[in-house]
Structure 1
């Protein structure tokens, strides 16, 4: 639909075969065949939609004029013929494509951006679309380098609104202006850290969340760093000599992998036994190849079969940084219909015992 709305569509835009009755079918039930032909002859079709007829020479019945296909002249005719929600969405999309081009130009880059974000442009409310377009037009013509969303003098645009709409607004402005970045300062996500050994932070803060730049300046002198996907597991960790535990889900693993002090000691990762848990481990190993995993093997998976749940959105793709044992566990999850074992479901005593063995194995 978005491609049609942003390009010149050949004529006709679509044809639909009607599959008229054959001579044999017409002989068997002439009344039904005649009724079908009459219905198409009397059909009230939208503008741009027409029926193509052909004359068939049949031995037993003679020459018969039958409808053979529908011809839909252009996308508007297709939408009108489809009616209902399809017609409504088409009218909304074409109107908004026209407004985007009027406000931001008709470059190839704008066309490509409209196609990528066509569903969003169609689905957002009229009020939200108006605001997205107004914000995009303003940002296109004003220098905002170094500003925060809170400082933008655009009516109705605050930090929360900008955070929710930044992807589409940025795409439109960058496409229209040929820039590489908006220049608006984004908040640096925070990473949760717990220092489990009081001697590593004498008189200091042992539980905190900090940005990438702030974390770079740390140097706790730990002997082992635990990285857990699950925050509750991070918070449940007991005092542990020489240890630091970091909440390593999603974006955080890329930050953790870049921290100089993390590289000074062994790293032990524990994540959910599911597609996302293994994907996070794969990413962490791309920064820290020597990362050791714990409770991420087939034995652990099978020992807790009764605690499995289904993975509703399994991640796919090649994860080349997994060990053989980890890969075997991941393959088993797939064979079992994309099962998953969340780390919170593993008994805490079992988890602590495995973590202690892993720490001992790396000399921590």
Structure 2
């Protein structure tokens, strides 16, 4: 017997996997369907577990009253119990109904992706190219806070309508846009602008983002400086033999790390950390991310994990947060997005950060003994 909760979990996984496609294609969203065989009990099972079978049947009867849920019944002719009608299969049709059936969290996440992608497509004139770009960056669009998303949309629309060949980010006549903002949002904005305008290049010039690197084991790149800065393109051509890469949110922490065998440490430069996924030797290693215990730290983790799904967080859990309550400060500009790539324990930590009033535990404030013990354990995991 497939219980209702298991079916909801299966549907939640399907929604998470296909949300971007559905958001960019309303017709596909409307026609989306998930069918699940419920494996009804045998007569022997019904006799042995009468109470459980009745509860299972009643649960599915109740679930069938939800919008978009169609329950198919089958009649079983049993020698001792006679003819019995039992749930045999369930079909849930439509992305909205599927998300609702999966539960509140999935429904909220789906609605956010759906609405953000639709707003981006409509705001940039529609068309297959824009829909494709919005689909590709749906996770990032959904993760933005409301004001941040509106700024991304406004900037993208303006750039699509006003060629800016040769300008640097600081020269753009757009309120709130500078090199730091543009660097953090360049991938999304570029994709949307090029799709909406049909141009091959954004035309904006500027220095490539520099990432600070420390070789915690000089053997991973013999002859290189132990600490240096380089762009993603420059890092990508290096022949680094790293067993593990530790990405950190704060530069001060990077500089304080002790030697670690086989490990390279990289300053993620905030939201630009996702660019690191373009480095072959980094993606081929075990990647660990350690950021601040605040909403922006988890937003950065989500951005990086969206580009590099295998990344594992370190010292970003509720236990670490609560163990250092005396070191908390207030986060001045909390991130308000939803981050579906977070693991349950990470989401629990983010929920606590928000429930406590948008607190922040900066990584450099955590005592070294505690932090290094966690780092060593995380780096030892295969």
* TM-score, normalised via structure 2 length: 0.50
Pick the aligned partner of 1:189 from 204, 209, 220.
209
CA distance in 1, matches of 2:346, 2:358: 15
Per-residue CA deviations over 1:308-359 (Å, capped at 9, x if unaligned) read 1111211012100111110001001111111111111101121111100111
Larger Rg: 1
Partner of 1:54: none
1:197 Cα shift?
0.8
CA distance in 1, matches of 2:246, 2:172: 34
> Residues 168 and 341 from structure 1, CA distance in 2 versus in 1: closer, same or farther, beyond 3 angstroms?
same
Give ranges in structure 2 of 5+ residues lacking alignment. Answer: 1-123, 126-149, 152-158, 178-188
Verify the 8 A CA contact 1:191 1:252 in the aligned structure 2: no
Question: What is the SS of the residue equivalent to 2:209?
Answer: coil
Pick the aligned partner of 2:314 from 294, 298, 303.
294
Per-residue CA deviations over 1:25-75 (Å, capped at 9, x if unaligned) read xxxxxxxxxxxxxxxxxxxxxxxxxxxxxxxxxxxxxxxxxxxxxxxxxxx
Question: What is the SS of the residue equivalent to 2:273?
Answer: helix
CA distance in 2, matches of 1:214, 1:179: 29
CA distance in 2, matches of 1:167, 1:276: 27
1:258 Cα shift?
1.9
Per-residue CA deviations over 1:283-325 (Å, capped at 9, x if unaligned) read 1111221211111001001100111111121101210011111
Pick the aligned partner of 2:227 from 207, 213, 218.
207
Partner of 2:256: 236
Partner of 2:172: 166
1:208 Cα shift?
1.1
1:167 Cα shift?
5.0
2:287 equivalent to 1:267: yes
Give ranges in structure 1 of 5+ residues lacking alignment. Answer: 1-107, 110-115, 118-135, 150-161
Question: What is the SS of the residue equivalent to 2:326?
Answer: helix
Per-residue CA deviations over 1:231-260 (Å, capped at 9, x if unaligned) read 011111111110000001324312112211
1:183 Cα shift?
2.3
1:179 Cα shift?
7.5
- 4+ residue stretches of structure 1 with deviation over 6 A? none
Verify the 8 A CA contact 2:353 2:360 in the aligned structure 1: yes
Partner of 2:352: 332
Partner of 1:252: 272
CA distance in 2, matches of 1:262, 1:299: 29
Verify the 8 A CA contact 2:248 2:268 in the aligned structure 1: yes
CA distance in 1, matches of 2:202, 2:314: 42
2:336 equivalent to 1:316: yes
Verify the 8 A CA contact 1:249 1:280 in the aligned structure 2: no
> Residues 258 and 321 from structure 1, CA distance in 2 versus in 1: closer, same or farther, beyond 3 angstroms?
same
> Residues 168 and 245 from structure 1, CA distance in 2 versus in 1: closer, same or farther, beyond 3 angstroms?
same
1:281 Cα shift?
0.6
> Residues 337 and 225 from structure 1, CA distance in 2 versus in 1: closer, same or farther, beyond 3 angstroms?
same
CA distance in 2, matches of 1:194, 1:164: 30
Question: What is the SS of the residue equivalent to 1:239?
Answer: coil
Measured on the aligned residues, the alpha-carbon RMSD in Å equals 3.1
CA distance in 2, matches of 1:214, 1:167: 31
Partner of 2:377: 357
Following superposition of structure 1 onto structure 2, how do residues 24-173 of structure 1 map, counting pairs within 5 Å?
Answer: 162-166=168-172, 168=174
Partner of 1:305: 325
CA distance in 2, matches of 1:348, 1:217: 33
Verify the 8 A CA contact 2:250 2:363 in the aligned structure 1: yes
> Residues 251 and 329 from structure 1, CA distance in 2 versus in 1: closer, same or farther, beyond 3 angstroms?
closer
